[in-house]
Amino acid sequence: MYEKQDLKQLIREGKLAKTGATKRIRYTGKNEDVDVYRIDLKYLYYNDKNGRISTDMSEYKDISGNIENISVDERNDIIEKFIFNSDIKRNEKTKRNIKDIGQQKAGVVLSDGRIIDGNRRYTCLRQLFRETQNAKYSYFEAIVLDGLSDKEIKRLELELQQGEDKPLDYNPIEKLVEIYEYVIKGEFSKQEYANSTNLTMSEVNLRIDKANLMIDFLDYLDKKDKFYLARTMQLDGPLQEIRGIKNKLKDDEEKWAKVRVLLFYNLKISPKEDMGKYIRNDLERIIFSEKFDEFFEKQLPIIDDTKEIMEPDIKIEEPSIANSNNEPVYNNENIEEKNYISEKRETEDIEKNLNIAEDIEIEKEKEMEKLRKYRAENEEAQKRSDSLVSSFVDDIKYTSSRRKPIDQINKLVNEIYLIDTYAISKMSIDEKKEINNNIEIIKQKIKEIESKL
């Protein structure tokens, strides 16, 4: 059970043991070597804004409301499941390592017990202690910080993510959700985010563009902020390609409006194995060809014929609580019944919240099943669309191949005009002979071309 404590006060009172190690961290504007302490697990709680679970947290909020409205113990149990399920294979490996050789890397916590760095290690220790009741798993080794504003805490979280193997922990979509939450919503400037994450400004702009496209696509699906769909659909690669196409179109908003419909429709209806490659090799070829308008006119009827059968969202209902119209009236004679009902409701609420992580996995599968059903029901439209794309790509390739000699001759003419004839007049006899030989080769090729005209 969680016990709220001021960890700095426990340190001052000598109630937290030092490990003898220190951890270097950039804190309050300078690098410091801070002592590492052994902190009882019961004094700690998860950072619910951890980037690795941002898509799960958005889904929890959508289904059940703000996670801060439940007890710390319930919250810890829910977030533990999110973190462990985010990369089961890697977390099992970390558990084995801790079991074999102990915790090797110190975490970072605030004085109120909030974990800023080390959520995955804390998860593994919680599980090991529950499974074995061995005291060596009952504490978390970390440094303790205080005196930070909310923005400074977030900046510290971003900086810590860049250390050692942290970037590998994050799904690409989680990174887009993070930049949406931190930058697009306006709490951090682009420069502040770049400084905190050690990214270049071009890398930050790329993430912002992709995040905006992700938000736009989810709105197109009528699935606002359901970021887990973007993660499950593996949209990072396709979003990269779409961003490149949009940049090439520059300020042509009229064409982008058409291209957006084409690309988003294909993302929704076409479960290609490599959607990014399909966009790059086929759709982009059509978009930047002279045949795009003709193609789009033929694509529109297919889009119009597509059945919109996506079912409305299925919400997991919270247990109903009696309101003033049907709440029983209690008096001193039946106060025990009131207490019993109150305790029963509290137990039901705890059980409900402990199962929220499983409920969310079920909800995700329901949403993906709707998408699979949508695609299955529209298989004929998908085939028509694929056939149309294939025919136009073949036509464009043929046209391009047919024009290749023209492009080569135009290039040759441009090169000939650049030849410095004065320099030729100053050449040696051998050099002039070399040029004459090449001219004869060119003449023969010209005769061959002329015979085909």
* pTM of the predicted protein model: 0.70
Q: According to the model, what pLDDT value does residue 225 have? A: 85
Residue 162 has pLDDT above 70, yes or no: no
User: Stretch 284-288: mean pLDDT, rounded?
Assistant: 95
186-228 confidence digits (pLDDT tens): 889 999 999 888 899 999 999 999 999 999 999 999 988 888 8
Q: Kindly state whether residue 319 falls inside one of the protein's structural domains.
A: no
Residue 316 has pLDDT above 70, yes or no: no
Q: Kindly state whether residue 140 falls inside one of the protein's structural domains.
A: yes
17-27 confidence digits (pLDDT tens): 999 999 988 77
Reading the block at residue 9, the tokens are 């006060």
What phi and psi, each to the nearest 5 degrees, are found at residue 6? -90, 100
For residue 272, CA distances in Å to 128, 215, 277, 288 come to 41, 21, 9, 21
Task: Give dist(CA 157, CA 187) in Å, integer.
Answer: 14
Q: Kindly state whether residue 135 falls inside one of the protein's structural domains.
A: yes
409-441 confidence digits (pLDDT tens): 888 888 888 888 889 998 999 999 999 999 999
Let me know if 37 is exposed, middle or buried by CB neighbors in 10 A (0-12, 13-18, 19+): buried
Residue 310 has pLDDT above 60, yes or no: no
Mark which of 118, 151, 168 sits at the end of a domain: 168
Mark which of 168, 186, 218 sits at the end of a domain: 168
User: Domain of 453?
Assistant: 419-453
Residue 393 has pLDDT above 90, yes or no: yes
Mean pLDDT in the chain?
A: 84
Domain tally, the chain? 2
Tokens 């047919």 correspond to 402
Q: Kindly state whether residue 225 falls inside one of the protein's structural domains.
A: no
- Going by pLDDT thresholds of 50, 70 and 90, the confidence category of residue 351 is low
Task: Give dist(CA 140, CA 255) in Å, integer.
Answer: 56
Mark which of 143, 168, 193 sits at the end of a domain: 168
For residue 49, CA distances in Å to 57, 284, 351 come to 8, 37, 23
CA torsion sign, 391 to 393 to 396 to 401?
A: negative
Task: Give dist(CA 44, CA 101) in Å, integer.
Answer: 22
Q: According to the model, what pLDDT value does residue 158 have? A: 83
Task: Give dist(CA 292, CA 23) in Å, integer.
Answer: 58
For residue 25, CA distances in Å to 6, 103, 159 come to 21, 18, 10
- Going by pLDDT thresholds of 50, 70 and 90, the confidence category of residue 323 is very low
